[in-house]
Amino acid sequence: MPWYSQTWTFLDGRWQEGNPPMMGPRTHAAWLASSVFDGARVFENAMPDMDRHAARVNQSATKMGLKPLIADAEIVALVRQGAQKFKTGTPLYVKPMYWAEAEGVDGITPDPDSTRFCLCLFEAAMPEPKAGALAVSRFRRPTLETAPTDIKTGALYPNNARAIRDAQQRGFTNALVLDMLGNVAETASSNIFMVKDGVVCTPTPTGAFLNGITRQRVIELLRKDGLEVREVSLKVDDFLAADEVFTSGNYSKVMPIGRIEDVNLQPGPVFQKARALYWAYATSGAFAV
């Protein structure tokens, strides 16, 4: 049995089942990390904000020095086509990718004319809303001056992975990661929100982390529902004193946090509202597969 779940990948102009090979030892992205991707979801026969995810992967490609090959609308159409290859109702993770095959004349930068594209869809259950536990990480998010933090690229994920691994070794499920100034940025895998006295606060995007698509949508939905949402600089102590903490991200959508270090929290009414509002929005019929 393969280690991966049911998978379909659009590569080299055709759909292929499983995990087809796509890079060789001379491939620029395989050794110099010129790959970008996006992550989206198909669940409950809906694919919310797929147009935004398609647009972001094309924007990431341009910023990485690659050449976007597939228009936003065409990526969305391919996602819809690929989803039809699975049993109706199967929850999927959606991963469009670009990478460079060859290096430029300097041997370091990617050759944009060698850009390749694939779209991978694979079965991935939607996680139950189980409260996570966060350790304050000793690792930091880099700045735009030190890393391509404005791009969704695999090159950033080893830093995320070591933060998660370190937190797990300490008995937590994820990490609360700070920026270089000591402000809370996000968890190692999602954007973060806190609630105090009925006011929702979330770290202001400073370039140290991506302003997530699900994050933006949750903010919009909460504000429409009458809640005050502030994007501000936040410290660890703000989260330790919070009434509620929850996260947003493409893989799990809206999830509660039950502990930060030795401070216990309970999933509260604002988390419940945020999750319910997002699910209602996503499954409204406007984003049907």
The first and second tokens of residue 167, run together, are 């937190």
- Residue range 14-42, pLDDT digits in tens: 999 999 999 999 999 999 999 999 999 99
**Residue 1 above 70 pLDDT?**
no
In order of 46, 122, 211, the CA distances from 151 in angstroms are 26, 23, 11
CB 60 within 8 A of CB 126: no
Q: State mean pLDDT over 162-173.
A: 98
Full-model pTM: 0.96
Domain with CATH 3.30.470.10 in the chain: 7-123
Question: What are the strands, taking DSSP E only, across 104-251?
Answer: 115-123, 132-140, 174-178, 184-187, 191-196, 199-203, 229-232, 244-249
Residue type, 102: A
* The CATH number of domain 132-282, selected from 3.60.21.10, 3.40.190.10, 3.20.10.10, 3.40.1030.10: 3.20.10.10
Locus of tokens 């594209």:
117
Q: What is the pLDDT of residue 122?
A: 98
* pLDDT tier, 286 (very low <50, low <70, confident <90, very high otherwise): confident
CB 174 within 8 A of CB 134: yes
Residue type, 110: P
Q: State mean pLDDT over 126-139.
A: 97
CATH architecture, range 7-123? 2-Layer Sandwich (3.30)
CA distance 163 to 58: 28
* pLDDT tier, 206 (very low <50, low <70, confident <90, very high otherwise): very high
Domain with CATH 3.20.10.10 in the chain: 132-282
